[in-house]
Structure 1
Amino acid sequence: MINEALREIRRGCAEIIDEARLETLLKNYFEKGETYTVKAGFDPTAPDLHLGHTVLLHKLATFQKYGGRIQFLIGDFTAQIGDPTGKSETRKILLPAQILENAQSYKDQVFKILDPEKTSVVFNAEWINPLGAAGMLELTTTFNVARMLERDDFDKRYKGGISISISEFLYPLLQGYDSVHLKSDIEIGGTDQKFNLLMGRHLQRAYEIGKEQAVLMMPILEGLDGVQKMSKSLGNYIAVADAPNDMFGKILSISDTLMWRYYELLSAQSLDQIEALKTGVEEGTLHPKKVKEALALEITARFHSEAEAHEASAEFERVHAQSEIPTEMDEFTLEGPIWVAKALVDCALSPSTSQSRREIKQGSVKIDQQKISDEQYQLEAGEYVLQVGKRKFARLKVIL
């Protein structure tokens, strides 16, 4: 059982530090029934999670299968500073009300993956606020500025003459202090968090709590383009809160190569099951599209329901495979005649008229399922179905 657990825990990992401690914790669980704690921190800087965030959640769920009790840490205090990881400038400070609203949104979403009975949701303001000035000063004595500037993003900004606030130096110290207070056995995070994760080990030694956490790092999930990391700002993301049809369609849009990355990091299928699917595709007994559809069904059902996932699958087949229009779409009424590029913007199908014109040039725009090429096309009185790309539809009524 220990080997099986280690195999699933190692799955998709980029790096594990102190694997011997991890093995000891698992051994004590299987032989003595002793549980252990696994910490993961999330700063509620935005209200919605996307599938890139859930890579960590899936790993936490794996630990829950093998004796781990999850410390799901919401950084309501540290979010006021903002994690400087990978940032080329100081981040704006969020208002407390926005942080609390985002934190509640996180709580509503994470239990679609985690077992609430094996999860403690904690907020780091509970122990950082009581530190006070004296405690904060003591914390700053545990690390020096030279070591802090070894961190890659700080080093680049310092050499480039770009401002670094003192509060940003505090961020990794506070994240590490979370591990001191919680006495975490393991902490997990993305590969970009290595400096902060190791700070937890350092501070557990400095504060002599009698243990040093093992560290497990997960890779950053690529977005729909298969190149850049999944990000809302890049528009290549799949949100946990996406509607079933959107989620299903977005997953089917990924490449056949990227599909295996998503299977490894997001699917509940075992490694042996995934290997069998790969073999089937390679030998030609399974079509890649069918395997991708199975992944889309699994993920959509996880965040919605089995019924909604199957409805999304049927709708996708009807709309895309049979070139039909969706049964439901947003409806708009506009005064006409109206320029088609503006109509696309007003119907929330395009962000700007210039983008609308580019999409018309690319052949991505259809009116009543017929492509248009005239960028100056005017819509007269009547009812139309507007379409941009494969997934964006709107029903428009033009009145004079």
Structure 2
Amino acid sequence: MVKEAMAEIVRGTAEIIDKEKIEKLLKEYYEEGKHYYVKAGFDPTAPDLHLGHTVLLQKLATFQKYGGIIQFIIGDFTAMIGDPTGKSETRKKLDRETVLKNAKSYEEQVFKILDPDKTQVLFNSQWIDKLGASGLVELTTLVSVARMLERDDFEKRYKAGKPIAISEFIYPLLQGYDSVYLKSDIEIGGTDQKFNLLMGRQLQRSFSVGKEQAVLMMPILEGLDGVQKMSKSLGNYIGVDEEPNTMFAKVMSISDELMWRYYELLSSKSLEEIEILKEGVKEGKVHPKYAKELLAAEITARFHGDEAAKAAKEEFDRVHKQNDIPSDIAEYELKGHIWIAKALVECALEPSTSQARRDIQAGAVRVNKEKISDKDLHLEEGEYILQVGKRKFAKLKVTK
């Protein structure tokens, strides 16, 4: 069983530090029934999660299958500082009211994947508030400035002469202190979090916790474009709370190559099942579209249920096989003589007017089913069906 469990735990990972420790924890669980603790932290800097976030949640769910108790940390304290990971400048500070509102949303969304009976939802303000000024100062004595500047993003900003706030140095210390306080056995995060994850191991040594957490890093999930990481700001995301038809259609829009990456990181199918399906596609016995439909149905059902996933597939087939317009699309009303690029942004079909212009030039925009090429087009009074690509629609009423 340990071998089987390790195969699922290792699946899709980018790097594991102290793999032997994880094997030891699994062995103790199967031989002695002893549970172990897996930590993952999420700063509630936005109210909603997308599938990129669920890569970690899926891995946490895997640990739950094999004896792990999840320490799901909502960084209500650290979110107000802002994780500097991957940032080229100091992040804007969030107010506590926004953080707590977003945290509540996170709690509601994560249990669509995690087993609540095997999950401890924790807010790190519970123990960081108790540190006080003296405790925080003591924490800062454990790591040198030189060590902090070894971190890639800090080093780049320092060399470029860009400011680094002292609070940003404190962030990884506080994340590491979470592991000290909770006595975590394993911590997981994205590859961009490596410095922070290793800080937990270092501080557990410094505080003589009696253990050093293993670290498991997951790759960053590519967005729908298959190039950049999934991000709401880039418009290449699939939101956990998106309605079923949109979720199903977005999964169907990914490339055949990217599909297997999504299977590996997001599907609950076993590695053996995925390999059989992949071989079937490779040998021409299974159509790639069918394999993608299975993935789209699985992901949609996970967040909305089997019936909703079935209905979403039927709607997708109706729209795409008949070249029809979806039965339920958002409606908007705007003032007349509006620039088409601005209309597409106002109708939530495009993230920006510059992207709208690019899509028009690429032939991806239709008005009333007719492809348009004039990026300077203005819409007069009337009703229009706007479309971007194969899956994004809006009904627009233009008034005087």
Pick the TM interval, shorter chain: over 0.9
1-side partners of 2:154 and 2:353: how far apart? 40
1:220: which partner in 2? 220
Q: Report the alpha carbon displacement of residue 155 of structure 1 after superposing the two structures with TM.
A: 1.4
* Closer/same/farther in 2, CA of residues 369 and 95 from structure 1, 3 Å limit: same
**Identity level (%):** 70
Pairs within 5 Å for 1:272-291: 272-291=272-291
* Closer/same/farther in 2, CA of residues 376 and 41 from structure 1, 3 Å limit: closer
Pairs within 5 Å for 1:251-330: 251-330=251-330
Q: Which runs of 4+ in 1 moved over 3 A?
A: 332-362, 372-384, 396-400
Q: Is the 8 A contact 2:234 2:351 kept in 1?
A: no
Q: Report the alpha carbon displacement of residue 166 of structure 1 after superposing the two structures with TM.
A: 1.1
- Please tell me the residue identity of whatever aligns with 2:370: Q
Q: Is the 8 A contact 2:235 2:351 kept in 1?
A: no
Query: Could you say what secondary structure the match of 1:122 adopts?
Result: strand
Relative to structure 2, which stretch is displaced further, 382-391 or 28-37?
382-391
Query: Could you say what secondary structure the match of 1:396 adopts?
Result: strand
Q: Report the alpha carbon displacement of residue 377 of structure 1 after superposing the two structures with TM.
A: 5.5
2:172: which partner in 1? 172
The answer to whether the aligner puts 1:391 opposite 2:391 as a matched pair is yes
* Closer/same/farther in 2, CA of residues 322 and 34 from structure 1, 3 Å limit: same
* Closer/same/farther in 2, CA of residues 171 and 392 from structure 1, 3 Å limit: same
Q: Deviations over 1:238-271 (max 9, x none)?
A: 1111111111111111111111111011000000
* Closer/same/farther in 2, CA of residues 84 and 59 from structure 1, 3 Å limit: same
Q: Report the alpha carbon displacement of residue 339 of structure 1 after superposing the two structures with TM.
A: 5.9
* Closer/same/farther in 2, CA of residues 362 and 209 from structure 1, 3 Å limit: closer
Query: Could you say what secondary structure the match of 1:170 adopts?
Result: helix
- Please tell me the residue identity of whatever aligns with 1:251: V
1-side partners of 2:10 and 2:70: how far apart? 17
Q: Deviations over 1:286-338 (max 9, x none)?
A: 01110011000000111111111111111111112220111111224456566
Relative to structure 2, which stretch is displaced further, 145-154 or 48-57?
145-154
Pairs within 5 Å for 1:1-400: 1-334=1-334, 336=336, 340=340, 343-350=343-350, 356=356, 358-374=358-374, 382-398=382-398
Query: Could you say what secondary structure the match of 2:331 adopts?
Result: strand
1-side partners of 2:76 and 2:298: how far apart? 32
- Please tell me the residue identity of whatever aligns with 2:265: L
- What CA RMSD, in Å, does the superposition of the two structures yield over aligned residues? 1.9
- Please tell me the residue identity of whatever aligns with 1:286: V
Q: Deviations over 1:153-205 (max 9, x none)?
A: 11111122111111111111111100000000111111111111111111111
1-side partners of 2:198 and 2:356: how far apart? 48
Q: Report the alpha carbon displacement of residue 380 of structure 1 after superposing the two structures with TM.
A: 5.8
TM-score, normalization: structure 2?
0.94
* Closer/same/farther in 2, CA of residues 352 and 213 from structure 1, 3 Å limit: closer
2-side partners of 1:241 and 1:179: how far apart? 30
Q: Report the alpha carbon displacement of residue 19 of structure 1 after superposing the two structures with TM.
A: 1.3
2-side partners of 1:6 and 1:29: how far apart? 13
2-side partners of 1:278 and 1:91: how far apart? 42
TM-score, normalization: structure 1?
0.94
Q: Report the alpha carbon displacement of residue 382 of structure 1 after superposing the two structures with TM.
A: 4.8
Q: Report the alpha carbon displacement of residue 226 of structure 1 after superposing the two structures with TM.
A: 1.1
2-side partners of 1:193 and 1:259: how far apart? 25
2-side partners of 1:114 and 1:249: how far apart? 25
- Please tell me the residue identity of whatever aligns with 1:291: A
* Closer/same/farther in 2, CA of residues 297 and 157 from structure 1, 3 Å limit: same
2-side partners of 1:348 and 1:137: how far apart? 47
2-side partners of 1:121 and 1:249: how far apart? 32
Count matched residues. 400
- Please tell me the residue identity of whatever aligns with 1:11: R
Query: Could you say what secondary structure the match of 2:92 adopts?
Result: coil
* Closer/same/farther in 2, CA of residues 342 and 131 from structure 1, 3 Å limit: closer
2-side partners of 1:145 and 1:345: how far apart? 45
